[in-house]
Amino acid sequence: MRRSLLLLLCCALGPAAGRAQESHFEWREIADSAFQRKDYDAARIGYLSALELRPDSPRYLRGLASSAALAHNRAGAITALRRLAALGVGAAIEKDPAFASLQGEPDFLRLLQVLAENRTPQGQAEVLAELPAHSGIIEGLALRERTGDLFLGDAHLRAIWRRDHTGKILRFTAEDEELFGIFGLVLDEERDTLWAATTALPAMDNYAPAQKGQAALADFELSTGKLRRIVPVPADGRDHALGDLTVDANGTVYATDSLAPIIWQFSPTEAEMEKTIEAPEFHSLQGIVLFRRTLFVADYANGLFAVDLARRSVTPLEAPADTTLLGLDGLVAVPGGLAAVQNGIEPQRVVRIALSPDLGTVTGLTVLAAGLPNLTDLALITLVGDRLTFIAGAGWDGFDPPKTPHPRTHTVRILQTALP
C-alpha cells in the first residue's frame, strides 16, 4: 500500500517527490502544499501517506477529509471524519467551507453530532487557587509537601511565585535576577533545592533578539529563595528551549529541549550539562517523568517515548486504537502509568495513560476532564496527594501568536481533578 501511494504521489507531484519520505512531517509539507494550490487529489494522497506513519493525527485526518470532500470523494471524506471523531476530538467543522458538498447529508449530520458530543463536558475540575488580573504566563508548578507551598513558574515575567499554605501568593525570586522565562520546576527536598528550566523566548518581558536560542537550569535554595547558580545549555550553534524537568534520587536533573532533539542531564557534582540522549525521533519535547529507570517524555508532534537510561535507547509508544497521544504537554507519574495535559487537541483535556507492567506498551487512555468551563490554555501538571493539579488560563493565548507586547491581564487558575 505504501509503495502504491508513493508511485501515485510521484506522478501527481513530479520528480521532486520521487525520493522516499523519511517522516510524516515531509508528507505533511507535500500535502499542505498541494492543498494550497488546490490539487486535492495530490493532497489526499499526501495526508494518507502521513497517516500511515502517524495514524492518530487529528490534523492529518481533517486534512484528508477536507481534501477528499473538495475532490468530490464523499466516501473518502466520511471515512476520514469517522476516524477523526473516533479519536474523541471535537473539531468544529460545521461552517468549514471544505465540507460544503456534504451539508445536509445524513452521514455528515451524524458525524457533526458525534464531534459536538466530543466537545461536551467530561469529568470535573475544581479550583485550588486563582491569580486574578495576572499579566504573566504561568507555565510550571511544583508542590513542597512539607510546607504546603506551591511554586509557579512565569514565562513572561521571568519569575517564580510562591503560594503558601494560607493561599497568599508572593514573589519567590528577586526582581533583579537575570533569569529568562521560567518553565518547568522540580523540587529536591533532600538538597534544599528548587530547580527551574529557564528559556529565552519572545513572549518574555524585555526580550532581546541576541538572547534567541539560549536556555539554562537555575538552582535556587529552597528555604531562602537565593539563586545559587545558573547552568547554561552548552553552546553548539543550535537554538535551545528547556521546557520541563525531573530529578532522580541522586540529585541528577533531566530536562527536555523542545528545539533541539535532546534530553539533557545535570549532576550537582558536575560543572556542565551533558546529553542524556539525542534522537532523530524527537521533534518537540515537552513533559518528562522518571519511572524506575525509564524516562517518559511527551513529544508534541510525535507522541510518547520511553527512554531506557541503562541502554540509552528510545522506544516510541503507540497509541491504542481510537486514541491519540499527540498534543501532550505536561506529564506526571501516577499508579499504573501517567497522567498528562493534552493541550494540542480540541477540546484540551487531562488524561490518564495506562502502561503495561513492563512499561513498554500503552494499554489505554482515559479522559479525566475535558470541555469544562475555563479548561483552556492548559500548561504543566503535578500531583498533590491523590489529586492531579494543573494550570488553566496560563496566558499563552495572549502571546501566541503575538497580539501585543503586553496583552490584557487575565485570571490564571490552578485546577484539580481526582484520580479514579
- DSSP letter string, 267-304: -TTSSS-EEEEE-TT-SSEEEEEEETTEEEEEETTTEE
Give me the pLDDT at residue 398, please.
Answer: 85
Give me the pLDDT at residue 366, please.
Answer: 96
Q: What whole-number distance in Å separates Cα of residue 254 and Cα of residue 309?
A: 11
> pLDDT tens-digit profile of 40-85?
999 999 999 999 999 999 999 999 999 999 999 999 999 999 999 9
Query: Mean per-residue pLDDT for 256-263?
Result: 97
Are domains 2-118 and 122-418 of this chain identical in fold? no
Give CA torsion, residues 12, 13, 19, 20, to 10 deg.
-60
Find out whether 159 and 171 touch, Cβ atoms under 8 Å. Answer: yes
Query: Mean per-residue pLDDT for 321-342?
Result: 96
Give me the pLDDT at residue 177, please.
Answer: 78
CATH of the domain spanning 122-418, picked from 3.40.50.2300, 3.40.50.300, 2.120.10.30, 3.40.50.1970: 2.120.10.30
> pLDDT tens-digit profile of 94-107?
999 999 999 999 99
Q: What whole-number distance in Å separates Cα of residue 185 and Cα of residue 177?
A: 17
Query: Mean per-residue pLDDT for 387-399?
Result: 93
Give me the pLDDT at residue 403, please.
Answer: 65
Q: What whole-number distance in Å separates Cα of residue 369 and Cα of residue 7?
A: 44
pTM score = 0.91
Q: What whole-number distance in Å separates Cα of residue 96 and Cα of residue 101?
A: 11
Give me the pLDDT at residue 406, please.
Answer: 72
pLDDT tier at 13 (50, 70, 90 boundaries)? very low
Rounded percentage of the chain residues whose pLDDT exceeds 90: 87
Query: Mean per-residue pLDDT for 321-328?
Result: 96
Residue 140 has pLDDT above 60, yes or no: yes
> pLDDT tens-digit profile of 170-218?
999 998 778 999 999 999 999 999 999 999 999 999 999 999 999 999 9
Rounded (5°) CA angle 166-124-55: 125
Give me the pLDDT at residue 68, please.
Answer: 98
pLDDT tier at 12 (50, 70, 90 boundaries)? very low
Query: Mean per-residue pLDDT for 230-256?
Result: 96
Find out whether 332 and 338 touch, Cβ atoms under 8 Å. Answer: yes
Residue 14's contacts (CB-CB under 8 Å, 6 or more residues apart) are none
Write down the domain spans for the chain: 2-118, 122-418
> pLDDT tens-digit profile of 226-242?
999 999 999 999 999 99
Give me the pLDDT at residue 20, please.
Answer: 45
What value does the mean pLDDT of the chain take? Answer: 92
Q: 243 vs 185, 291, 305, 363, CA distance in Å?
A: 9, 19, 16, 27
2-118 folds as 1.25.40
Give me the pLDDT at residue 11, please.
Answer: 36
Least confident piece of the model among 10-24, 36-50, 343-357:
10-24
> pLDDT tens-digit profile of 265-318?
999 888 899 999 999 999 999 999 998 899 999 999 999 999 999 999 999 999
